[in-house]
Amino acid sequence: MAQRPPRSRRRTARAFLAGRSGPDAAFGTRLLLTVAATTAVTVPFVLAVVLVESRWPPLYRLDRDTAERLHRAALEDPGRVRVLGFLTDVVWDPVTMRLLVAALVVWLLRRRAWRLAAWAAVTATAGALLGFLTKNAVERARPHLPDPVAHAPGFSFPSGHAMTAMVSCAVLLLVLLPLVPPAWRPLPWALAVTSVLGVGYTRVALGVHWVSDVVGGWLLGLVVVTATTLVFEAWRTDIGRRRTGLGEGLEPEISATEPEPALGTPARPGSDDGRTGSG
């Protein structure tokens, strides 16, 4: 008959398992979910890079046919070209979008929303840096069309305009959405989606990007936003705040009239610090 382990050893084993089923298990679950979500949005971008680099024939035909069709339409309507140029070079220009994010960061700092300001700044900066590095790694040439209606410097994949629009609109939306009454929230969502899609259309219609460049920019921007948002959500969980949904913004507490407490300052007893409710 096998000898049973000493009671003290059994108690130690039970304590170890109990500890593993508490914070460690929660950390492991959160880590797995984070990896799974990041992988889910990274794989499509990696696939796009592979298809572009290998000049996959169906994708090549799609890029070429779309560019030629939209170029013919642009040559027939100079007024339309001017409108598209104004939208892409002024309204949706990366500089304009980044200035909007910079203004948002300043506003958050004035409200002492330190971590939210850091998230917005890091997300925008990471997007710009990653887009630049990817462009120079892939080194894809821009479309060469007869009688071009627009010009753009640098490499083509991914589209910097498309990526910046995706990242900037996501940052603005996720931060400011809690300030919008619930009944009006579909409006900023529609504005953000229109801006992201509109940027992509202008770049292809003006003949300075392929369709796959724009899709690649959107996907890479989504990867950046997803990764930084998951880190921010992990911080919220660690301090006891509830998880949020896309419909309410990244930090609903920003809608409070009082600024966020300084770093390390505990919430006042009885205050609504976001610990109640379901995600």
Q: What is the pLDDT of residues 135-185, one digit of tens each?
A: 999 999 999 888 888 888 889 999 999 999 999 999 999 999 999 888 899
Which secondary-structure segment (H or E) carries 179?
none
**Is this structure's pTM higher than 0.85?**
no
Separation between Cα atoms, residue 224 and residue 124, nearest integer Å? 9
Nearest to 223 by CA among 40, 39, 33, 41: 41
Q: Are 266 and 239 in contact (CB under 8 A)?
A: no
Which one is predicted more confidently, 270 or 10? Answer: 10
Q: Where are the domains of the chain?
A: 32-252
Question: What DSSP line would sit under 68-96, residue for residue?
Answer: HHHHHHHHH-HHHHHHHHHIIIIIS-HHH
pLDDT in tens, 65-121: 999 999 988 888 889 899 999 999 999 999 999 999 999 999 999 988 888 999 999
Q: Are 221 and 166 in contact (CB under 8 A)?
A: yes
pLDDT of residue 251: 82
pLDDT of residue 94: 93
pLDDT in tens, 222-274: 999 999 998 888 887 777 777 777 777 888 777 664 444 444 444 444 344 43
pLDDT of residue 26: 57
Separation between Cα atoms, residue 121 and residue 119, nearest integer Å? 6
Q: Is 174 helix (H, G, I), strand (E, B) or coil?
A: helix
> What are the residues whose beta carbons fall under 8 Å from the beta carbon of 261, sequence distance 6 or more?
112, 267
pLDDT of residue 155: 92
Averaged pLDDT score across all residues of the chain: 82
